[in-house]
Structure 1
Amino acid sequence: MRVAEVTPNVDPAALLAGAQFVDAFRIAVARSDLDARHAAEAMVARQPRWAEMLVALRNILVKPLGLKTSGASKGTPRDMIGIFPVVSETPERLVAGFNDKHLDFRLVVDVAATGAARNVTATTLVLTHNWLGRAYLALILPFHRLIVPAMLRKVAD
């Protein structure tokens, strides 16, 4: 299955006001019963081993800086998709993400019917707060452009 980078079709002001970075990738899958939650779960639950290793390295490097290594909160139990708290959800769209001191992040998973198939689009929005957020975003972007398509391919498996 082919993943394509597409023009984001979201309202950044409604999802993450002031976002400086927005991108989107799409894949068509032959699963007529697919909804946004199941697509998001498939994306994050079975990451490629190399992506898991990058996330583990990231967590080791950012922990001394006091940054979150997951979106889980210690107090209130939250609905989670992988390490990401669910912000909002409909059958067609799931928004997950969290706010941290260096940046705020949202992952939007949209599922749209196209005949018997479904188009699954993963849109990423980022709002940086300071130099650390801008440096972090610049550092991870090359990996982001590899990881998101790899995650989307998992929806087609």
Structure 2
Amino acid sequence: MIGTVREVTPNVDANALLSGAQFIDAFRVEIGAATVNARDACTRMVLHGPRWIDALLRLRNILVTPFGLKTSGEGAPAPHGVIGLFPVLSETPERLVAGFDDSHLDFRIVVDVTRDAAGRQVTSTTLVRTHNLLGRTYLKLIMPFHKLVVRSMMGRIVAPAR
């Protein structure tokens, strides 16, 4: 059904994207005949998401600063620019990979756009590799919000206006 976000089995080469990832999940939304590429889909998710997600990210940045974790706008230059706070690591029209490595954990977001007989689909896959107790604790703390945030952000691919 167009616009319905559902959790799906991840279908990516985790070792190629983030070797040793301890967490991986994926969500998919049917977008019908809508024409978007992976950058468009990621931009709609990240920059046109619900305002409450922006507030959560601001709170996250405030809370992690004392621990020396990266916040929005920090880190090395991205080879393909930045979408929101996510450096784009690689990109084709069908796939965009974003993310960064930090002292506590590394993460990747993979946005795939595919077409089947019913129309276009966008899948967002998240991979995380933790490095230490801080990373494992951080991952545990954000998990209750992760699925809600991803579902809400993906809903914006079909209806990007706030």
Alignment TM class, shorter chain as reference: over 0.9
Q: 1:50, CA displacement in angstroms?
A: 1.4
Structure 1 portions without partners, runs of 5+: none
Match runs of 1:30-109 below 5 Å: 30-70=32-72, 72-73=74-75, 76=77, 79-109=81-111
Check the 8 A contact 2:24/2:127 in 1, yes or no. Answer: yes
TM (norm. structure 1) is 0.94
Q: Which residue of 1 is the match for residue 129 of structure 2? A: 127
Distance in 1 (alpha carbons) for counterparts of 2:22 and 2:117: 34
Give the share of equivalent positions with the same residue, in percent: 58
Name the amino acid aligned to 1:121: T
Distance in 2 (alpha carbons) for counterparts of 1:5 and 1:71: 29
Deviation sequence 1:10-66 (CA, Å, 0-9, x none): 011000000000000000002442111100010000121211111111100000111
TM (norm. structure 2) is 0.91
Check the 8 A contact 2:78/2:88 in 1, yes or no. Answer: no
- Please identify runs of 4+ aligned residues in structure 1 that moved more than 6 A: none
Q: Which residue of 1 is the match for residue 144 of structure 2? A: 142
Distance in 1 (alpha carbons) for counterparts of 2:109 and 2:12: 11
Name the amino acid aligned to 1:106: R
Q: 1:71 to 1:9 in 2, by over 3 A?
A: farther
Distance in 2 (alpha carbons) for counterparts of 1:88 and 1:71: 18
Structure 2 portions without partners, runs of 5+: none
Q: Which residue of 2 is the match for residue 111 of structure 1? A: 113
Q: Which residue of 2 is the match for residue 11 of structure 1? A: 13
Check the 8 A contact 1:71/1:97 in 2, yes or no. Answer: no
